[in-house]
Chain A
């Protein structure tokens, strides 16, 4: 069964600090991996997408890495802001027939305090 595991489950940091969120997956065959940000009471919004051949991708203060050999990804947030407080969800798509199903992790709840 395809699975996506995220750690930590929750994280509290001070404004201005950096943090790194982890994602391990067992989805096969692999197509792509996305990190989504979900604010409380909102739907998920895509931050980055990475395919098999990509090792790192940045979007402003967000940098995602992917190691397809070890099936691990990380999301690094630099110089955190209060508005970064949200749930960050790792989502993996397989390249088989069910491309649309998307396997979601449970998310990491990030709280940025002043």
Chain B
């Protein structure tokens, strides 16, 4: 596609429910990132993929968060047993190569845990 696509745009989950957020990066982009953006804050790094390899997951806040990119294109961020503090916008970005070039962001998924 022309840009990074994320789905769903909005997700309301009951506390304790599992959710899966999808990211379709720009075709051919090697690098893929997930960021978490709380209301009124800048995005915070969660995890980074180079093709299908997850090279850094140091930003994932707990073991309830899991991300995968099995074929090096589409990525899924899964949150198990959601809690209210997980409410945020989850942004996905992709970049053509590992270093230097611009990262393009999707519109994000707004997750609200009630």
Contacts and interface: CB of A to CB of B under 8 A. Distances in A.
B85 interface: no
A101 interface: yes
Contacts of B43: 44, 89, 102, 104
Interface of B: 4, 31, 33, 35, 40-45, 48, 56, 59, 91, 93, 95, 98-100, 102-103, 105-108, 110
A60 interface: no
B40 A43 contact: no
Interface residues of A, number: 19
Contacts of B102: 34, 46, 49
Contacts, number: 50
A43 B42 contact: no
Given A43-B4, A43-B105, A100 B91 contact: no
Interface of A: 4, 34, 41-46, 49, 89, 98-102, 104-107
